[in-house]
Structure 1
């Protein structure tokens, strides 16, 4: 029996091979999100950002027409990752922004952890473009949002058809941590506990027995 040698779908995220891209999480766009409760979505976004910060993963934030109705990037992101934002002048697809794409390329990392508002535009378009150019994109659906569940489901199907890896923020964290004995494992564990109420009980049990 022969086994496939293509590891594209089995190679894991690490703190050394990934970059985080937060795309258009802007106040005006957040208002239209209907596929997730706003409080849960905010919590998921914070969990993803804190995961990247704790693991030392480089992060890139971009916004579109923030002087107009889209509004500024939400503070739940900038309070964690800082306010160095690539402000696009008109490109709907962030990958069409030379500054945004150059920032990704400059990290030297081929795995992009990507989230955006709205999922079917701000996340979908750059994810498709990045995959077409050989990048390995992880679309974090629960740290993204769109108009309703139907739009989310249709977009998820199109992402997977293109080879994008659809995932969640907690799965990203666990994949990066890899081992409870790894560097920053305890800090990452507390990120998970702080943004996942149910898992907080697991963390309390784990550290109580150390």
Structure 2
């Protein structure tokens, strides 16, 4: 029996989907603290911008209670198309959204969103069925409670979705610190507080040389 294939994210073949990070829905995300969740989402957004990975944004019924998309996302990704779905719960049921994914030509899809078991899981499962490789960013996706998150993650993993956090997405895309220590390190410094001390130590040693 052959061992499982390790499919690594490739910056030249991946597409980021930010699904329903909307003011009203984010208020329902209780499986993370509000500040922690915001930090995780913005860390992922920074990665998309830093690696120049194409991204697609989408909202669901943003004229209603779900509210508008978080402005920090559109500010950081000003060139990313925003598909405002009038009612489709599964983003893949929206023909404009689905068409953009197909048009991108990318086969690796990185998904984050709110709510995990609905807005993330439904399109993730649909994309798996269509033959894409799918990664779900667990800490940039939120929902009502930890137990609902765990159930959704199990459902997705059983279908072949890979689960990882935003920092792991960055590390897998970066591959080697030597590509750009300062640029990549700045993201970690800003969004992983405990890593700031390591970078301060690194910079201090470098300045002494």
| TM-score (structure 2 length as normaliser) | 0.93
Identify which of 97, 100, 104 aligns with 1:103: 100
Q: 1:119 to 1:208 in 2, by over 3 A?
A: same
CA contact (8 A) 1:139 1:166 kept: yes
Q: What's 2:122 paired with? A: 125
- Structure 1 unaligned segments of length 5 or more: list them: none
Q: Is contact 2:177-2:184 (8 Å) kept?
A: no
Distance 2:98 2:81 in 1: 15
Q: Would you say how many aligned residue pairs link Structure 1 and Structure 2?
A: 205
Aligned to 2:21: 25
Q: Which residue of 2 aligns with 1:48?
A: 44
Partner of 2:196: 200
Indicate how the Cα distance of structure 1 residues 15 and 209 shifts in structure 2: closer, same or farther if over 3 A, else same: farther
Q: Is the 8 A contact 2:18 2:113 kept in 1?
A: yes
Look up the SS of the partner of 1:181 in the other structure. helix
TM value normalised by structure 1: 0.93
Q: Paired residue for 2:32?
A: 36
- Cα drift, residue 185 of structure 1: 4.5
**Residues 36-185 of structure 1 aligned to structure 2 (within 5 Å):** 36-82=32-78, 84-182=81-179, 184-185=180-181
